[in-house]
Amino acid sequence: MMNGVWPVGFSWTFSEANQIDTTRDHYENFPYPPRDPADEQHRLLTPALDCFDMLNHYGFGGARDFEDEFTVLVAGGGTGDSTIFLAEQLKSTSNKVVHVDISQQSIDVAKERAQVRGLTNIEWRQANLLNLNSSEIGTFDYINCTGVLHHLPDPSMGLASITSLLKDDGVLGLMVYGQYARTGVYQLQNLLRHLNKDADQEKKVSNAKSVLSQLPDTNWFKRGSELFGDHRLGDAGIYDLLLHEQDRAYTIAELIGLLGDHGLMLSKLVDSWLYDPGRYLQSEDLETQIATLDPTEQMSVAELVSGTLKTHTLYAHKNRCAEPEFGLDKVISLTLSNDTSIYSRFHRLIVENLREPKVSFSHENNSIDLEPSEALAAALKHTDGERSIAEILKRATMRGKAKRRDVLRALEAFYKTLNTYDMAFLRSSAVARYRTKKELHGA
């Protein structure tokens, strides 16, 4: 028991308490993911789920101003990737990030990273997230819980605990393992359980390394090894991927069902295009059959035929929040907290290909097509992540070379194409531009 608090109506069984202790020991000895605090001097990791442009678009309808009071919890923050990035984005505000983890060693790594970056807006708590309660810790506008539920003895109870801390209009960012892509992982985990009976942690790692070096080509893990890189990150990666004592995965249908059990609704799947069965099955007869399925079944088909969805990452709400609609009072953000030069690069791409019927570029193994036009070139010339669509239209049509209707249509089509691949987002013009990755790292 931590902090002298048990969740209401909850009692531990011996096996559950033992599993919690085992997980704590795991991460005390192998903090994960392995991070060197000195690396903060030359790079800033930016988990997509925590980027304010994406979070605002899918989580708050593009209307949230993070300068105002904004409460954040990282539940199971590990060595601090999400915590550090969120704290950097909130650095110029009076808001703070609450980082909770069961492992003090993991917290210590995260603390060192924060110290290197000069971050003082983080509250550190060593605790089991099942023991958190709103009367002690408060409630939150955004809760990040990535890579945690699938390591709990009772993931449903863990989600219930987190949900109790989420404000009614708050957003949950969640990541859990996907079942089918991890088939080879679980084959190897079972193999190592046979070999590691009564072995200590050091011997388990040694045995895992020996097995990895001798796997035949027929082994499912070796066949799908390009999906995973954790075992190449050293002992901590090997232990987390192949030697974890508490590890389960979900199909997308199971995950949506789990959300529903706790009064949560799926708002957005990150990389949602991967859940489109039409990406994999394109014959007319199959498309007709797929069209008769409900949305969850369609995503299940995509998951089954792909076989590569090793995680499910999403936003969820208690009360559904509508995505912002394309309109004159909105600002188009293409940065994903990365680089403002992306605007000029897209403008140049269109200008250089005006005589082509289409121009294609690659993004995360997707070939994305745009339709070059004078109207789109005029719009992108003035798109910078700060001007509203109304301001862009005014500037693009100022000398009468482009028609307002054509510019608006071209810009909307451009936005919708990129939004499909999580490359473009909308926010209210009343919300200031987010700092880029370069600006955040140099702050």
pTM of this structure: 0.93
Residue 338's pLDDT is 59
Distance between CA 166 and CA 234 in Å, rounded? 35
Handedness of CA 330, 335, 339, 343 (dihedral sign): negative
Residue whose token pair is 């601090």: 80
CA distances from 100 to 72, 180, 267 (A): 11, 30, 25
- Whether 243 and 230 have beta carbons less than 8 Å apart is answered as no
Q: Hey, what domains does the chain have and what are their CATH numbers?
A: 14-179+249-317 (3.40.50.150), 181-242 (no CATH), 330-442 (no CATH)
Six-digit token string for 331: 């600002």
- Whether 143 and 170 have beta carbons less than 8 Å apart is answered as yes
Distance between CA 259 and CA 403 in Å, rounded? 47
Residue 321's pLDDT is 84
Residue 336's pLDDT is 59
Residue type (1 letter), 171: V
Distance between CA 110 and CA 97 in Å, rounded? 12
Q: What is the DSSP string of 330-347?
A: EEEE--TTS-THHHHHHH
Distance between CA 383 and CA 385 in Å, rounded? 6
Distance between CA 165 and CA 434 in Å, rounded? 27
The length of the chain, given as a count of residues: 443
Distance between CA 412 and CA 291 in Å, rounded? 26
Residue 12's pLDDT is 36
**How many other C-beta atoms are found inside a 10 Å radius of the C-beta of residue 430?**
11
Q: From first to last of the 443 residues of the chain, give the pLDDT tens digit.
A: 333 333 333 333 446 667 778 888 999 999 999 999 999 999 999 999 999 999 999 999 999 999 989 999 999 999 999 999 999 999 989 999 999 999 999 999 999 999 999 999 999 999 999 889 998 999 999 999 999 999 999 999 999 999 999 999 999 999 999 999 999 999 999 999 999 999 999 999 999 999 999 999 999 999 988 899 999 999 999 999 999 999 999 999 999 999 999 999 999 999 999 999 999 999 999 999 999 999 999 999 999 999 999 999 999 999 988 899 999 999 999 875 557 788 999 999 999 999 999 999 998 889 999 999 999 999 999 999 999 999 999 999 987 778 999 999 999 999 999 999 999 999 999 998 888 888 887 75
Residue partners of 9: CB distance under 8 A and separation at least 6: none
Residue partners of 329: CB distance under 8 A and separation at least 6: 388, 389, 390, 428, 429
Omega of the bond prior to 295 within 30 degrees of 0, cis? no
The alpha carbon of 165 is separated from its chain's Cα centroid by a whole number of angstroms, namely: 20
3-state secondary structure of 96: coil
DSSP state of 232: G
